[in-house]
Amino acid sequence: MSVETKQLQLVRSAKRLVEAAGYMELGMIQHTLDRLDTLPGRGYFEAEIKILRGEALRQQDCYADAVAALKLATRRTSSPHSKAAWLALSLHGQTIGADGRAAPSLTNTRRASK
Protein backbone atom coordinates (compact mmCIF):
# COMPACT_ATOMS: atom_id res chain seq x y z
CA MET A 1 0.00 0.00 0.00
CA SER A 2 1.46 3.34 -1.01
CA VAL A 3 1.98 6.26 1.31
CA GLU A 4 -0.65 8.24 -0.58
CA THR A 5 -3.20 5.47 -0.12
CA LYS A 6 -2.49 5.33 3.62
CA GLN A 7 -2.83 9.09 3.89
CA LEU A 8 -6.11 9.02 1.99
CA GLN A 9 -7.46 6.31 4.32
CA LEU A 10 -6.42 8.37 7.34
CA VAL A 11 -8.23 11.44 5.99
CA ARG A 12 -11.36 9.38 5.28
CA SER A 13 -11.27 7.93 8.79
CA ALA A 14 -10.90 11.40 10.29
CA LYS A 15 -13.92 12.63 8.32
CA ARG A 16 -16.03 9.65 9.40
CA LEU A 17 -15.05 10.23 13.01
CA VAL A 18 -16.11 13.88 12.76
CA GLU A 19 -19.39 12.78 11.17
CA ALA A 20 -19.99 10.30 14.00
CA ALA A 21 -19.32 12.99 16.59
CA GLY A 22 -21.75 15.29 14.77
CA TYR A 23 -24.48 12.65 14.84
CA MET A 24 -23.82 12.22 18.56
CA GLU A 25 -24.24 15.95 19.17
CA LEU A 26 -27.55 15.84 17.32
CA GLY A 27 -28.74 12.94 19.46
CA MET A 28 -28.70 10.53 16.51
CA ILE A 29 -27.09 7.73 18.46
CA GLN A 30 -27.73 4.87 16.03
CA HIS A 31 -26.27 6.97 13.19
CA THR A 32 -23.22 7.54 15.40
CA LEU A 33 -22.74 3.81 15.90
CA ASP A 34 -23.36 3.07 12.22
CA ARG A 35 -20.72 5.61 11.19
CA LEU A 36 -18.25 4.23 13.74
CA ASP A 37 -18.81 0.75 12.31
CA THR A 38 -17.34 1.98 9.01
CA LEU A 39 -14.02 2.75 10.72
CA PRO A 40 -11.23 0.23 11.29
CA GLY A 41 -11.13 -1.21 14.80
CA ARG A 42 -7.46 -0.41 15.25
CA GLY A 43 -5.30 2.40 14.09
CA TYR A 44 -4.56 6.04 14.58
CA PHE A 45 -8.03 7.01 15.89
CA GLU A 46 -8.66 3.88 17.93
CA ALA A 47 -8.97 5.62 21.29
CA GLU A 48 -11.28 8.33 20.00
CA ILE A 49 -13.48 5.72 18.34
CA LYS A 50 -13.71 3.68 21.54
CA ILE A 51 -14.56 6.75 23.65
CA LEU A 52 -17.28 7.87 21.24
CA ARG A 53 -18.63 4.32 20.96
CA GLY A 54 -18.72 4.02 24.75
CA GLU A 55 -20.62 7.29 25.09
CA ALA A 56 -23.10 6.27 22.37
CA LEU A 57 -23.69 2.87 23.93
CA ARG A 58 -24.20 4.50 27.32
CA GLN A 59 -26.87 6.72 25.79
CA GLN A 60 -28.59 3.58 24.48
CA ASP A 61 -28.47 2.06 27.99
CA CYS A 62 -26.06 -0.66 26.81
CA TYR A 63 -23.97 -0.25 29.92
CA ALA A 64 -21.85 -3.41 29.77
CA ASP A 65 -20.81 -2.68 26.18
CA ALA A 66 -20.17 0.97 27.06
CA VAL A 67 -17.87 -0.01 29.93
CA ALA A 68 -15.99 -2.45 27.70
CA ALA A 69 -15.39 0.21 25.03
CA LEU A 70 -14.32 2.84 27.56
CA LYS A 71 -11.96 0.45 29.34
CA LEU A 72 -10.31 -0.37 26.01
CA ALA A 73 -9.97 3.35 25.35
CA THR A 74 -8.22 3.92 28.69
CA ARG A 75 -5.65 1.24 27.82
CA ARG A 76 -4.92 2.49 24.34
CA THR A 77 -4.58 6.21 24.78
CA SER A 78 -2.11 8.89 25.60
CA SER A 79 -2.67 10.94 28.72
CA PRO A 80 -5.11 13.61 27.43
CA HIS A 81 -7.33 11.01 25.79
CA SER A 82 -6.98 8.67 28.73
CA LYS A 83 -8.33 11.44 30.93
CA ALA A 84 -11.42 11.71 28.74
CA ALA A 85 -11.93 7.95 28.77
CA TRP A 86 -11.54 7.68 32.56
CA LEU A 87 -13.93 10.58 33.08
CA ALA A 88 -16.53 8.97 30.81
CA LEU A 89 -16.08 5.69 32.67
CA SER A 90 -16.55 7.48 35.98
CA LEU A 91 -19.70 9.24 34.80
CA HIS A 92 -21.01 5.92 33.55
CA GLY A 93 -20.42 4.39 37.00
CA GLN A 94 -22.36 7.20 38.62
CA THR A 95 -25.21 6.78 36.12
CA ILE A 96 -25.77 3.14 36.98
CA GLY A 97 -25.18 3.68 40.68
CA ALA A 98 -21.84 1.94 40.83
CA ASP A 99 -20.19 4.58 42.99
CA GLY A 100 -17.64 2.04 44.18
CA ARG A 101 -16.33 1.81 40.63
CA ALA A 102 -16.78 5.52 39.91
CA ALA A 103 -14.35 6.69 42.60
CA PRO A 104 -11.35 4.69 41.25
CA SER A 105 -12.18 5.97 37.78
CA LEU A 106 -12.04 9.55 39.04
CA THR A 107 -8.71 8.82 40.70
CA ASN A 108 -7.40 7.49 37.38
CA THR A 109 -8.73 10.63 35.66
CA ARG A 110 -6.63 12.75 37.97
CA ARG A 111 -3.55 10.57 37.40
CA ALA A 112 -3.97 10.76 33.61
CA SER A 113 -4.04 14.55 33.75
CA LYS A 114 -0.60 14.77 35.39
pLDDT in tens, 45-98: 888 899 899 999 999 999 899 989 988 888 876 655 556 666 676 766 555 555
Distance in angstroms (rounded) separating the CA atoms of residues 27 and 6: 32
Distance in angstroms (rounded) separating the CA atoms of residues 8 and 5: 5
pLDDT digits (tens, 9 = 90+) for 4-56: 888 888 889 999 999 999 999 999 999 999 999 999 877 888 888 998 999 99
CATH fold label, 3-112: 1.25.40
56-to-21, 24, 91 alpha-carbon distances in Å: 10, 7, 13
Domain ranges, ordered by start, for the chain: 3-112
- Put simply, whether the predicted model's pTM sits higher than 0.75 gets the answer no
Three-state DSSP at 67 gives helix
